[in-house]
Structure 1
C-alpha cells in the first residue's frame, strides 16, 4: 500500500478526501474502467497526517521549511517587501531547495543523474534561467526584479555550501561509512555557480597517499571525461540502496522549526 505523509493543512485534507472519493467511485464501477479498478483496488493511497501543532513529527520536510525561513529572515530582516516581490522570492527559493540532489539514480552507470525533490513535483529536475551576478551592485541601483534576484543569489550563496557540508558529514556518519571508491557519484563544489546548478561527477580512479588515505580522485563529469579534484571539494551522494529516511540533510540538522 502506498502512503502519503503530510501536516493537517486544509489543502491536504481536501486532496485526501478527493483521492478516497475517486477510489470508491472506481471500486464500484464494473464497466470500461476495469483495468483502473483492479489497480486502485490493490493500491489505494493511504494519507497519513502528523499530529496537529507538532511540526517536529514532519522530519525532513519541516527541516527544509525551517532552513528556508532561517536564510530568508537573515537576508530580508525588517526590510519592507511588497507582496509581488515576496511571492517571486519565495518561489525562487522553493526552486533552489527542491533542486538539491538527494541520492544518485542507479539506472545507467554512464549517466550522471541524481534524484531531487523536483522529481516528486514535476517528474524531472527543477531549473532556472541563470541571471547576472548582482552581489556587488548597490541596492539603490537595482529594479524590483533585480533586487529580488540579488536576494535569491545571496540566499543561495549562504545555503549552497552549508548543504554540501552536511552531505559530507552525513556520508561519514552512515554505518558503515560511505567509502570513496570508483563508481561513487559526487557533487563537485564550485563557489561561482548560479542557483539550482549542481555539477555531478562519477569517480573513475582514486589516488591514495602514502598513508593509504584517499585525498585525490579522478572524475568523469558532463563536460570532461577526466578531471582531477581533491576530496575536500567533493560531496558524496548517499546510495539509494542504503539510504534511510533520514538521509536527506537540509541546511539545518534539527527537525523542529
Structure 2
C-alpha cells in the first residue's frame, strides 16, 4: 500500500479532501465499510455540535455581551452542509438592535457579502503573540 500521499485530511474524512462526498452510511453494502463510514459521520456530527458550540461559548465568556466584532474571522454554520463545506468569512458590519446588542452581521466571503444572524457564526480564535 502506498502511504506517501497521506495528509491530515485522509485521517479526518477517510479519503483525500477533494474527493466526492460519500453516501450516507445506511446505503453502504459491506459491514466493514459501513462501520467506518458511520464512525466518520459520527465524528463530524459530534464536531459540529460540540466543538463549534464551544467556540461560540468561549467568545461570549471572553467578550461579555458582544460576541462578534467588525473584522473578526468567522465560520458560517450551515445546517444543510457538512462542516467541511462551511464557509469562512470576515465581519464587515454589525446591526445593533434597540437594546444596543448586535444580532445580525454582514459577512464578506469568497462568494460575496451576505447578511447572517450572529448565532449562526462561530468566531475563530486568534492567537495574539
Instruction: Classify the TM-score, shorter chain.
Output: 0.7 to 0.9
Q: 2:126 aligns with which of 239, 243, 252?
A: 239
1:212 aligns with 2:100: yes
1:94 positional shift: 4.2
**Structure 2 residue ranges without an equivalent (≥5):** 1-7
1:142 positional shift: 2.0
Matching of residues 90-169 of structure 1 within 5 Å: 94-95=11-12, 127=17, 129-135=19-25, 137=26, 142-143=29-30, 144-169=32-57
Distance in 2 of aligned mates of 1:169 and 1:207 = 21
TM-score, normalising length from structure 1?
0.40
Structure with the higher helix share, 1 or 2: 1
Q: State whether residues 187 and 237 of structure 1, in contact with CA within 8 Å, keep that contact through their aligned partners in structure 2.
A: yes
Look up the SS of the partner of 2:103 in the other structure: strand
1:238 positional shift: 1.9
Partner of 2:5: none
How large is the Cα RMSD of the aligned pairs?
A: 2.8
Distance in 2 of aligned mates of 1:161 and 1:133 = 21
1:186–1:195 Cα change, 3 Å:
closer
Q: State whether residues 185 and 236 of structure 1, in contact with CA within 8 Å, keep that contact through their aligned partners in structure 2.
A: yes
1:195 positional shift: 5.5
**Structure 1 residue ranges without an equivalent (≥5):** 1-90, 97-125, 243-257
How many residues matched? 118
Q: Which protein is bigger by CA-based radius of gyration?
A: 1
1:158 positional shift: 2.0
1:240–1:92 Cα change, 3 Å:
closer
